Amino acid sequence: MDKLIFSRKGFDSSAGHGYSPYDPKTGRYIVLPIPGDIVNNNGYKYDDLLLKPNYLEGIQANNVKELINDKHLNFSKKAREIIHSSYAHYDPVLGAPSWLENGPAFGAFGQAEAAAGHLRNHHVQEGSVFLFFSRFKPIQNRLHPLDPEGGWTKGAYFIYGWLKVGKVITSENLSELPHDIKVDHPHGSDEDFRKRNHNTIYIASDKLFNDSDLPGCGYFPKLNSNLLLSSTVHKNKPSIWKLPSFFNEDQYRPTYLNVEDKLRERWLECPDDEDYCFVQSTGRGQEFVSVLKDQSIEWLKSLFEKNY
């Protein structure tokens, strides 16, 4: 059975020591790749990733390094220091994002170690769909002080992109890895497949749905309330999500959120809306695996009807 995976990717409090920025006035955002590791010191540094002029209104940054150093975004000293000479772990690559002038434009996502083992053990394969989410922090002073959309002072989790798996690459079929992914993806080198346990690359399919022209991977044009995972009722507790209520059924409940003796305290049906529920997500865990069938397929399609 195909899977639907909520995949946490991008700057966070431990990997990057900050959060990706978004403009609550326009919905424009930039996903910041986390700093690279010692396995793969090649590819793009943060000042190699060139930004389109004035992509975020009022932020004058020519590249991602300058963006993180911009005083208006209030990144921590630690964040500024760690990206100073680091390579960017640019993953996932979901085509060419609207904020960059350069960089890779293929569709591929890499995973390794325990997280890759988790995906393999839950049979994530061709036909499965990743929904990538990250915590985004709003640029200050974009909205009226009373506008509730500007109230996420600690940031909020939004879904920002997707990838439908067209092919899975492991060490067993490494010869099938396209050359551009091998060269430019941070999990793509021969060294990655030697040194990273369970190193896996998920290559995007051509189409998301067989009956539409939606591409097999991409970035949503803007962040909005339809892509918001964090509960507005629990504002500034972004790890509390609001999901359609079917996700609280046994067959749909995502991994890490389905521990039997934690269900009562972790999940709550919305008192004022029976179609939705609240869930306390976990601080750890990157890949939350559900099933892709019936209700989740319809919900997935609705995301694109409203946001693409």
In this predicted model, what pLDDT tens digit does every residue of 188-221 receive, in sequence order? 999 999 999 999 999 999 999 999 999 999 999 9
pLDDT value, residue 235: 87
CA–CA distance from 199 to each of 5, 13, 58, 259 (Å)? 18, 24, 40, 27
Structure tokens at 275: 């179609």
pLDDT at site 41:
62
pLDDT in tens, the chain (308 residues): 899 999 999 999 888 899 999 999 999 999 999 998 765 666 899 999 999 999 999 999 999 999 999 999 999 999 999 998 889 999 999 999 999 999 999 999 999 999 999 999 999 999 999 999 999 999 988 888 888 777 788 899 999 999 999 999 999 999 999 999 999 999 999 999 999 999 999 999 999 999 999 999 999 999 999 999 999 999 889 999 999 999 999 999 999 999 999 999 999 999 999 999 999 998 778 999 999 999 999 999 999 999 98
Three-state SS for 24? coil
Do strands 20-22 and 129-138 pair parallel, antiparallel, or not at all (unpaired)?
parallel
Comparing CA positions, the residue from 111, 116, 67 lying closest to residue 92 is 111
Residues 135/19, Cβ–Cβ less than 8 Å = yes
Structure-block tokens of residue 175:
């010869």
Q: Residue 92: is the preceding peptide bond cis (ω within 30°)?
A: yes
Dihedral angle of Cα 180, 182, 185, 190, to the nearest 10 degrees: -170
Nearest to 73 by CA among 172, 193, 175, 155: 155
Per-residue pLDDT at 38:
62
- Helix, strand or coil for residue 157? strand
SS3 165: strand
89, two tokens:
């772990």
pLDDT of residue 39: 58
pLDDT score, position 66: 97
What is the phi/psi pair of residue 200, to 5°? Answer: -140, 140
Return the domain boundaries, the chain.
3-224
What are the angstrom distances between the C-alpha of 113 and each of 70, 119, 193, 199, 283? 34, 10, 11, 7, 18
Tokens of 37: 């590791």
Q: What is the pLDDT of residues 105-162, one digit of tens each?
A: 999 999 999 999 999 999 999 999 999 999 999 998 888 888 877 778 889 999 999 9
